[in-house]
Structure 1
Amino acid sequence: MNVDRLAAILKQAAQEEIMPRFRRLDDGTVKTKSGAFDLVTEADVGAERVITAAIKAHRPDYLVIGEEAVAANPKLLETGLEDRVVIYVDPVDGTANFAGGLPLFAVMAAVVENGETVAGVIYDPLGDDVVMAERGCGAFQVFPDGRMTRQKFADPVPLSEMGGVASTSFLPFEQRRAVLGNLAKVKMLAGYRCAGHEYRYAAGGNVHFLMYNKLMPWDHVGGALIMRECGAHVAKFDGSEYRPADTSGGLLVASNKDSWDELRRDVFTV
């Protein structure tokens, strides 16, 4: 699917289903899934429905796997990726922020063809712009007026000068305690409860690392491609390549291989 068409579909869903509900959610329209910070709203469900229908109208042969569809039928994650095109969709990434009225949420999609990620799109409904990448073509931020800015990950710096994002909440307690202590070795740590905005922030060269432990494809498949196209080194904790079918093993992104090795050795000793 053309990446511009996919971005337009995400924008349409945001305009129809997400933004009209922002800071206007009624009682009973926010539900808890696995915990206090894992929520679903009418906006998530409605946006996923619109995105799925629009993709299917254009390409009925594509398989669309959305976060909310998997919540209803977890076996969708067992779908084989070979010899087909799969589009992963996160209709509202950062639902807890959205439900709390915080303007840090995004709409994300990733295109996987024959098991390989070929495109990633992250749309910001508040800024009405998109960060996107196609494999081998670089990553770009595209503004409403059509301007395009090529994205580049931050240049390497010493560990003590690094700033980054680390999502530690899914680490086992002892490992989380060790990692949080080790993070005192870097200069700045942030976390926005929205992988979409964290990937966008990194794409603009604003941080030196990203770390995630829980890997769901709608959260990270597109973002990981964008990071690679920005020039970052992207790998699972064991150094192996992160692939769309992976749902465990952690993910670490850094400016280059040397920075990745240093972070893995001295900070993220999980």
Structure 2
Amino acid sequence: MTETQMPETQLPQPATRLSPAQITNLANIIRRAARSEILPRFRNLTEGQISAKSGPEDLVTEADTAAEAMIARGILRIFPNAVVIGEESVAADPKLRIRAAEAELAFIIDPVDGTWNFAKGVPLFGVILAATRFGKPIFGLIYDPITDDWIWSSEDGPALQSEVGLLPRTLSTSKTTDIAKMTGVVHLSLMPKDVQQKFAPLIPDFARITGLRCSAHEYRLMAQGAFDFTLSSMLNPWDHAAGALITARAGGVARFLDGKDYDTATTEGTLLTAPSEATWTALRDKIAPAFGL
């Protein structure tokens, strides 16, 4: 693999503090971290390099911690005054999440999203990076180390998919409007048991309810129009901040079921992303009673 080439003339000019050159640098930092800290460890981890955090399904590996540290160092070289947090640093100090939500500029890293897949040798994982301003996403990038491509967007630009040596292509959310034909990602096992029981009878009303154990690829497929909606009550900002922004810039909607727009400060609630305003409303009306709304 060679260094990513993203000529500035190919990038939309964002009305944010991130310039095209800075975006290019961020993409390169993530690609370098994937090549040096993530991919060499894929299917090459020893038992001692994998451990559990909150439970046996919540894993962390040596690749997670090493990649997060490398990406954080690279970001701080470009943005020395920014708050930089990652999934693993917040696990060690939960107060960092609040600090990031209150910061004028914060970067949020998920160094290996889909760690369970990664640790089990399943090639379905990614790196997620979001920039936020006072908790509102202003930039998001989701990188797939296996295919070496990334989707990304700024707060006022299109959602794009980029590959080395090729011009970026614009992404669009699904055009499906019939709920009976929709495929949705629902993190059902992570929801309270009473919600699971209330939501379960709704499953046959959709074409398919699924999950990939990887927000990176779930949001990639959402922005590409392959999935019709996502629903999650586990509101970790490293999972959702980039994907919520990219989905919105691809033509979709990302809101909590109570109607509030997505932000990283919200820690309780349920996030629903949908391909359009009308579809979001239809899905919310169908789903909300299961959550007591």
- Partner residue, 1:242: 262
Any idea what SS the aligned residue of 1:40 has? strand
Quick one: structure 1 residues 171 and 115, their matched pair in 2 at CA, closer, same or farther if it must change by over 3 Å?
closer
Q: Distance in 2 between matches of 1:107 and 1:115?
A: 20
Structure 2 residue 73 is the aligned partner of structure 1 residue 53: yes
Task: Find the counterpart in structure 1 of residue 214 from structure 2.
Answer: 194
Structure 2 residue 65 is matched with structure 1 residue 41: no
CA contact (8 A) 2:100 2:106 kept: no
Partners of 1:158 and 1:189 in 2: CA distance? 15
C-alpha distance in structure 2 between counterparts of 1:189 and 1:54, whole Å: 38
Shift of 1:82: 4.4
CA shift for structure 1 position 265: 2.3
TM-fit CA distance, 1:172: 1.2
What does the per-residue CA deviation read over 1:128-187, in whole Å, with 9 as the maximum and x for residues that have no partner? 000000011010000122331100000132111111111112211121122122021001
Q: Which runs of 5+ in 1 are unaligned?
A: none
CA drift of 1:83 comes to 5.5
In the alignment, what sits opposite 2:85? 65
Q: Distance in 1 between matches of 2:26 and 2:127?
A: 11
Matched, 1:213 2:230: no
Is residue 183 from structure 1 mapped to residue 185 from structure 2 by the alignment?
no
Match of 1:108, SS state, is strand
Q: How far did 1:250 drift?
A: 1.1
Residue 82 to residue 154, structure 1, CA distance change in 2 (3 Å): same
Q: Distance in 1 between matches of 2:239 and 2:176?
A: 25
Structure 2 residue 169 is the aligned partner of structure 1 residue 149? yes
SS of equivalent residue, structure 1 residue 91: strand
- Cα deviation, residue 78, structure 1: 2.0
Assess if the C-alpha contact under 8 Å between 2:85 and 2:100 holds in 1.
no
Please tell me the residue identity of whatever aligns with 2:56. Answer: A
Relative to the length of structure 1, the TM-score reads 0.96
The gaps in structure 2 that reach 5 residues or longer are 1-17
Amino acid at match of 2:107: I
Q: 1:232 aligns with which of 252, 255, 263?
A: 252
CA distance in 2, matches of 1:172, 1:25: 33
Question: 2:272 is matched with which residue?
Answer: 252
- Whether contact under 8 Å (1:156, 1:256) holds in the other structure is no
5 Å matches for 1:76-225? Answer: 76-79=96-99, 81-82=101-102, 84-225=104-245
Distance 1:108 1:15 in 2: 15
Looking at structure 2, the residues matched to 131 and 54 of structure 1 have their Cα atoms a distance apart, in angstroms, of 20
Cα distance in 1 for residues equivalent to 2:38 and 2:59? 15
Partner letter of residue 211 of structure 2? G
Q: How far apart are residue 80 of structure 1 and its match?
A: 5.6
Query: Following TM superposition, where does structure 1 have runs of at least 4 consecutive aligned residues deviating by more than 6 angstroms?
Result: none
Cα offsets for 1:95-148 (capped at 9, x unmatched):
000000001100011001244311000000000000000011010000122331
1:228 and 1:97, CA in 2 relative to 1: closer, same or farther beyond 3 A? Answer: same
Give the TM-score normalised by the residue count of structure 2.
Answer: 0.89
Q: Is contact 1:211-1:253 (8 Å) kept?
A: yes
Question: In the TM superposition, what is the alpha-carbon distance from 1:193 to its structure 2 partner?
Answer: 0.3
- Please state whether the residue corresponding to 1:169 is helix, strand or coil: helix
3-state SS of paired residue (1:258): helix
Q: Is the 8 A contact 1:138 1:230 kept in 2?
A: yes
| 1:223-248 per-position Cα deviation (integer Å, ceiling 9, x unaligned) | 10001001112110111111121222
CA RMSD of aligned residues (A): 1.3
Which secondary structure state, in structure 2, belongs to the residue aligned with residue 178 of structure 1? helix
Are the counterparts in 2 of residues 183 and 267 from structure 1 also a CA contact under 8 Å? no
Give the secondary-structure state (helix, strand or coil) at the position aligned to 2:259: coil
Q: Distance in 2 between matches of 1:171 and 1:254?
A: 19
Equivalent position amino acid for 1:25 in 2: L
